[in-house]
Amino acid sequence: MTSDLSKFQVGEYKGGPAGKTMLWYIINSSIFDSRIPWPYSFKRWLLRLFGARIGKHVIIKTKVRIKYPWRLTIGDHCWIGESCWIDNLAQVNIGNNVALSQGAMLLTGNHDYTDVSFPYRLGDIVLEDGVWIGARSVVCPGVTCRSQSILTVNSVATRSLEPYGIYSGNPANFVRTRKFKR
């Protein structure tokens, strides 16, 4: 048996209404995935306009890609770094005081490689309060990064991270406990 991508179908999956999705793709590519440093307040307003729930003082840098804002919740005082990709085919919930460093990827979709037609496998992503996703790191479908956990640079979270845990590698493994100085 072999893969047969000619049999791939999205099934019942629908990103959103066609007109809304097309308009968002235009805005996403011209405003969010742009090198122009548009005002953060303007970006927050656009995301809310398209159904995202966005908290106070959210910073969204340049070259950020967001698949569907209507499947996105971001809490207060969060940072979304340059070149982040929120590929939210499913829901992404980001708590308060969360940092996504440059090039971080939140991927809610994957494919079932055991099925010849390669169908979607989707899973929500949750980043609880105080999480830090390091530069060029990847959070995979269905993962919850619990409160104050850290995924270090270039790491891949294929399973959930425990509170205050620091994780590194591909796949990410526990390294040590996060401790704060006073």
Phi-psi region of 142 (alpha: psi -120 to 50; beta: other; left: phi over 0): left
Tokens, residue 77: 């005082």
Q: How far apart, in whole angstroms, are the C-alpha atoms of residue 113 and residue 134?
A: 28
Residue 1 has a pLDDT of: 82
Rg (CA), the chain: 17
Tokens, residue 125: 């992503």
Residue 169 has a pLDDT of: 98
CATH top-level class for 17-177? mainly beta
**Cβ pair 52, 70 in contact under 8 A:** yes
Closest CA to 141 of 112, 106, 104: 106
Residue 115 has a pLDDT of: 87
Domain coordinates in residue numbering, the chain: 17-177
Residue 12 has a pLDDT of: 79
Q: How far apart, in whole angstroms, are the C-alpha atoms of residue 148 and residue 117?
A: 39
Q: How far apart, in whole angstroms, are the C-alpha atoms of residue 100 and residue 132?
A: 6
Residue 73 has a pLDDT of: 98
**Cβ pair 79, 96 in contact under 8 A:** no
**Residue type for position 117:** S
Q: Residue 93, SS3?
A: strand
Residue 2 has a pLDDT of: 86
CA distance to 53, 62, 89, 117, 135, per residue, from 155 (Å): 28, 22, 21, 29, 9
pLDDT per residue, tens digit, the chain (182 aa), is 888 889 888 777 888 999 999 999 999 999 999 999 999 999 999 999 999 999 999 999 999 999 999 999 999 999 999 999 999 999 999 999 999 999 999 999 998 889 888 888 999 999 999 999 999 999 999 999 999 999 999 999 999 999 999 999 999 999 999 999 98
